[in-house]
Structure 1
């Protein structure tokens, strides 16, 4: 029986996919496969079946901030069709915009372009994005791929990115999204064999919260399990994470919901974690735990696993059912509403404009002495020196997980298009120790009216498999900036890169008048930067991470998984860090000034039980249950039109057990183009989850106590209220079993204090 014969037993519905019919068709297909064919279709490079006419399929496709290079994605040679795709800024920069609508628009374009590639055979129909591990440690090489350190921001990013990428119909998707890496993965050093034992509190509040949102609230198609172990068991073999929490507690149970391993993670169960004694045993425990698809080759040993009674054919069939059901949801067999998308839908003028807009919105002003910025014509700078390793950057501006863009506008190219003389000298590299380029850089600066240094870090310092060991500026970049600052010229420093650097020296140097963080702005980075510096566009980004002092890297082990502080440990993220940050989370200056006024606040007191009961009219309560909306007027009293990001924080000196968070971001909104003398209104919704945090068992609890809401990092507005009554649980986290039964001998791993691989 051929594939079309197998599927034809249950032909598709005429107008749209039918879940019942497709369930029968998938069963018919799987029943037609031989055992060897089944095994060959459980790996990312799925073989299909030549006998049945079932095409092969490569599941490994990337789309972190645009259709990205991967085994399943094939870019042709320019200028042929499908030789490029829109390259958006790295997620860490997009997150700095605090603009949820922007995130959804970006994801929608990425999904549309991905589907166009897939329809024409240049990619698959599933994409392994987004990366939703919070940026816990500032040294992490992949923090650039994430929306930052705050789990609430990551959750908000997910609520917009997944629907944008997948579309609005779970049975007729644009593409399949994959939330990765589940769970507690945020380290490259020794990543293949590390074990972390986070508390149930930290799991609930921080590490699992984004995945709960991804699965429970957005209908994501796929989840990727991670390299590391949690509580001694590799995540890709964890019945607790994959079955108890993911499938049973969060209801990841649709026929088309599947779990894929990170690449090589199943092999690592045996090779690096030493959790099993053989590779086939690693394949067995992974399949049995619920990993449906392996990126790698260990599943090719499942014949040996079956022969040893370590797993079952039923487990294989269950995995294949999920995988082929998923492919039905993207029209792999019958087509769907997105089947007509083609290259005309790739890198459209609207997409290019959106990539530029995202770069503009994320840029963040950290210093602006003497109001050097924006550079208006009144400054009358006739010449500008562009110096530094990012001055003529192109692919450097993309960061990792990038594809081929339609173009890359470097800062040098953009600045040369403006009406001034440009004097360019690289001066030094990202991590240079030699000063041979200093002389030319200083000479360029000497003959210029304005000096702009463009440096920071790139993928030679931070990347997948590469964590940083230091938070200082690498090489001799600061030495060159110091020498430039002594020339008594107006000096702007533009800092690129995903992870933050300790900017203390720049902030304290009076010869550096302005400092802008530009992340990885990608294809229109040069144009966006020029327009922001000129004031053609306002700057209103906010740091989505804490900028720690360099000493933090010496004080805190990168392997310490704990979030909360203790007597000998300062904690992590703005919520728990007990030290003094160089620049706090959420910080960002503007070219103008604002004044603020509450338009709607809260009651001064609530009874917890009565409050929750009043919210139950909308259905069963959860951390998503709406509570109320706080409103504030924002008036522009300065000279420049500007966007404004309103950040609403909640804190309490006495609610719940200590330690208590310093504060927690509970709502935010970006207002656009508030002109001088006019005002906008922030509508900042709160949920029951806004007031809850995890207890020691991982249950989200609303605790009685005194609370304060505050607008912005600087507490521009505050309001105090209290909650009375008994603590009340609004969400739970399953408790791990004391023991799990495996079909093979296993070795529980101790927590990592150094790289285990």
Structure 2
């Protein structure tokens, strides 16, 4: 009896300490599944449907706050103000270093958590402020024309899978109860351009290509990283829209792979189902909503589910059980993120805000940038350049371009270290002669802030700015001042002190009074809603809901004539910025560049592309470019002309490429002694470039894509079959092959040890020695490729099956060991099945692919091959 009384007493004591809850789903002692079931049981049908949209509204009666599922962290937290900006994803691929990308993902998710909880404290729950991230993009960069290829890790499924898995693991964290953030593998599946027709295209492939190329990275994300979310693609695959494909979303993703997270549509992709000018596979929004939900798309980025699912219910196209299942998946994610629990109980909720753009994170961004650098050519050891140079010409459209540091889907860095800025800092005593030389492409003028010298407002230099603490110009301004130039990035501080939200607006007014007559391009770049008036006429208005957008118009201005100008900027986002820009058209840019080169000891040309003209579904139509994609893969003609004229001066010339996709730099490969590929290298990109150019960092990156010589070498852009694509199937001569990259060190491979015969299903064990034979420490990437010699007609030329980035001190030798298991050396047949059978395979082990010559051969490393017989 005493024991019973004591037990009852203890139980009553525990219950008395238990937090009172109004609803069962608020009870943290219950499992997440129990809590979700209770919550959903309390919702009306209308409320359930409302939670299937990306901007889910609050349900006040249950104490459920609004939540916006749309967040990005492709290479750092994006579109949410201040953040560390790492190199673009293609540069991450060029590191060939999954461990480094895990470190990066940990830093990114730290910043994501810290920023989210700070936003919540400030009452902010908008786009870019949540914990569900639509990252990573693990599509295969099968064609260099694709403008969004910069978002991927390259053309190889194995490399993509290894980097993607590590990034996902770092983002989602290692806690048994709570997810750090939700990662989203996108775009599922068979998706890589063209951008302009992605809403209409219907792609077909054979099963071999599907299971060998397009699915492995997604399978790894699900099976190895337990990615919690998958985003389906815009296009159709085998006649069904990807966001309404039973084959992709049910059979493969859920049934075959056991995926138990949620699927989100790409944005407004479900609208394409019923729009006749797009896929047009159904006739009404209700049918589109039913098709997507019934086939496995749980969350709608767009406006079809709400309200069209209600109509679908009434027409018996979908039942409430399917809606319940989707709603439960979404709320389960929110519970697993700890959104309904006390912050002190959630491991990730107490990361301090000072991790954002912290010294450690900035140093890591610089390290990733350094490791992403790929030295394509270095004839006669042109690089590294001497720091004793007295005079250097810095030429080219990317030498001082901040956007070329960032790529797309980026945050706002604290600083922009362009190559020009970095080289000036590294060589403070040298004369630096800078000239633009050319625009990035003919017709795409290089816009710069309109200077104070031509802006006038009521007798003062500059424009009058009226600043309001709301985003609708309501009431009187908080203050009025004259701004010398309109070139603002309000991160992390807002222009108005103690502003409680992101809502503010600014009206600038005054006049432009040019000091030269001529044709001009006037542009406005803004991150939110903006209007531009000239002489009281509205020239354009736009909204930039996702990333800053630039609009412009061309006009003729007369010297000393005043043109009234007014800008209205309305901010509602967490990344506010506004820039009033211009360029004088038809200027001779080459002559000043040649003058600069003639004054210098060496010329460094910063060429390439820009995320302003290659990227996602753009309006850009220039020669060689097509709505975000490219129709040609060579450098724009004006850049080639600049390069040839600089080279003709006879001055030593180095070319640095900044771009998101492979470039056919054929003339440079044949004529310029040194070429460095730098990608879009993040906020420390300029410093990383300067470190490589002047020998403070020894490059070790390798190409994650093939550099072809011409689009004429490639199949049709819309042909998704892999024949004659990527290093695996390309039968021509590449300019620079996949896996190519030079070093200032020299690496020799020796003592390759592989058994002559291996029994099927056993691992192939590999041992090899690598020696740095130079006097400088450096990195090489050990690349192991496999060829099925008895099945060459059915299989790739070679397939990457293992890789390892290795650092060696000067003169150091390391013995390295690898295992290639049966899963890796199996081959995929026409039905998409893995086949293990006896036969001969060829393994190549070294710092490059075998059998290339000339500039395509990486002379600073070596490679061995070995035939192995697989036996029963």
* Gapped regions of structure 1 (runs ≥ 5): 76-83, 565-570, 616-626, 726-757
- The reply to whether residue 87 of structure 1 matches residue 85 of structure 2 is yes
Q: Kindly tell me the number of residue pairs found equivalent between the two proteins.
A: 672
How high is the TM-score relative to the length of structure 1? 0.87
The 5-angstrom pairing of residues 124-135 of structure 1 reads 124-135=130-141
2:810 equivalent among 649, 664, 676: 676
Does the CA-based 8 Å contact 1:428-1:435 persist in structure 2? no
Q: C-alpha separation between the residues in 2 aligned to 1:393 and 1:250?
A: 44
- Distance 1:314-1:543 versus aligned 2 partners, 3 A rule: same
The answer on whether the counterparts of 2:26 and 2:340 sit within 8 Å (CA) in structure 1 is no
The yes-or-no answer on 1:398 pairing with 2:435 is no
1:567-582 equivalences in 2 (<5 Å): 571-582=724-735
The answer to whether the 8 Å contact 1:498/1:520 transfers is yes
Deviations 1:312-341 (A, max 9, x none): 111111001000101111111114100101
Q: Are 2:588 and 1:588 equivalent residues in the alignment?
A: no
For residues 312 and 69 of structure 2, the distance between their equivalents in structure 1, rounded to whole angstroms, comes to: 23
Measure the CA separation in 2 of the matches of 1:534 and 1:239. 55
Alignment of structure 1 residues 588-627 onto 2, 5 Å: 588-598=741-751, 601-608=753-760, 612=761, 627=763
The CA distance in 2 between the partners of 1:85 and 1:640, in whole Å, is 34
Pair 1:602–1:102, CA change in 2 (3 A) = same
Q: Work out the CA distance in 2 between the residues paired with 1:26 and 1:515.
A: 56
Question: Could you tell which deviates more after superposition, 310-319 or 682-691?
Answer: 682-691
2:870 to 719, 723, 742: 723
Match of 1:309 among 308, 316, 329: 316
Report Cα offsets for 1:655-675 as digits up to 9, x if no partner.
Answer: 3x7232111111111112x22
Deviations 1:443-469 (A, max 9, x none): 111001111000101123310111111
Q: Given the alignment, which residue of 92, 95, 120 partners 1:97?
A: 95
1:215 match: secondary structure:
helix
Whole-Å separation in 2 of the counterparts to 1:31 and 1:89: 45
2:424 maps to 1:416 = yes
Deviation at 1:7, TM superposition (A): 4.2
Aligned counterpart in structure 1 of residue 700 of structure 2, from 510, 533, 540: 540
Aligned partners of 1:302 and 1:551: how far apart in 2? 45
CA–CA distance in structure 2, aligned partners of residues 56 and 6 of structure 1: 19
Residue 292 of structure 1 deviates from its aligned partner by 0.7
Q: Distance in 2 between matches of 1:268 and 1:685?
A: 46
Which secondary structure state, in structure 2, belongs to the residue aligned with residue 291 of structure 1? coil
Partners of 2:252 and 2:52 in 1: CA distance:
23
Asked whether the 8 Å contact 2:647–2:653 carries over to 1, the reply is yes
Going by fraction, where is strand more abundant, 1 or 2?
Answer: 2
* Aligned residue in 2 for 1:58: 68
Say if 1:364 and 1:205 are closer, same or farther in 2 by CA, change over 3 A: same
Cα separation, 2, equivalents of 1:217 and 1:499:
28
Distance (whole Å) between structure 2 residues aligned to residue 386 and residue 7 of structure 1: 66
Q: Deviations over 1:51-82 (max 9, x none)?
A: 2221000000000000011xxx4x3xxxxxxx
Offset, 1:144? 0.5
Change (3 A) 1:220 1:7: farther
Alpha-carbon distance in structure 1 between the residues aligned to 2:216 and 2:695: 38
Separation in 2, partners of 1:27, 1:366: 57
Aligned counterpart for 1:693 among listed residues 802, 806, 827: 827
- Counterpart-to-counterpart distance in 2, 1:305 and 1:233: 19
Aligned-residue RMSD, C-alpha: 1.7
Q: Is 1:703 matched with 2:837?
A: yes
1:35-184 to structure 2, matched below 5 A, reads 35-69=45-79, 73=80, 75=81, 84-121=82-119, 123-169=129-175, 171-184=177-190
Cα distance in structure 2, aligned partners of 1:693 and 1:323: 38
Tell whether the 8 Å contact from 1:243 to 1:290 is kept in structure 2 after alignment.
yes
Using a 3 Å threshold, how does the CA distance of structure 1 residues 629 and 398 change in structure 2: closer, same or farther? farther
Return closer, same or farther for 1:6/1:581 CA change in 2, 3 Å cut-off. Answer: farther
Output the TM-score relative to the length of structure 2. Answer: 0.75
The alignment partner of 1:723 has SS state of: strand
Question: 1:170 Cα deviation (Å)?
Answer: 5.6
The counterpart of 1:238, out of the listed 233, 245, 255, is: 245
State the distance in 2 between where 1:95 and 1:443 align.
38
Q: Deviations over 1:619-647 (max 9, x none)?
A: xxxxxxxx254232211112322111111
- Trace 1:345-360 onto structure 2 (pairs within 5 A): 345-360=355-370
Q: Is the 8 A contact 1:693 1:701 kept in 2?
A: yes
Distance in 2 between residues matched to 1:387 and 1:103, nearest whole Å: 32
Residue 529 of structure 1, CA deviation: 0.6
Asked if 1:442 is matched to 2:599, the reply is: no
Distance 1:545 1:722 in 2: 30
Q: Is 1:523 aligned to residue 691 of structure 2?
A: no
Q: Post-superposition shift, 1:681?
A: 3.5
Distance 1:551 1:127, change over 3 A: closer
1:9 and 1:100 map into 2 onto residues whose CA distance is: 39
Partners in 2 of 1:469 and 1:220 — Cα distance? 35
| Equivalent-residue separation in structure 1 for 2:426 and 2:684 (angstroms) | 15
Q: What SS does the aligned partner of 2:754 have?
A: coil
1:195 to 199, 202, 209: 202
SS of corresponding position for 2:150: helix
Q: Does 1:658 align with 2:793?
A: yes
> How far off is 1:472 after superposition?
1.1
Contact persistence 1:88–1:358 (CA under 8 A): yes
The alpha carbon displacement at 1:171 in A equals: 3.3
More displaced stretch, 708-717 vs 49-58: 708-717
Q: Aligned residue for 1:293?
A: 299
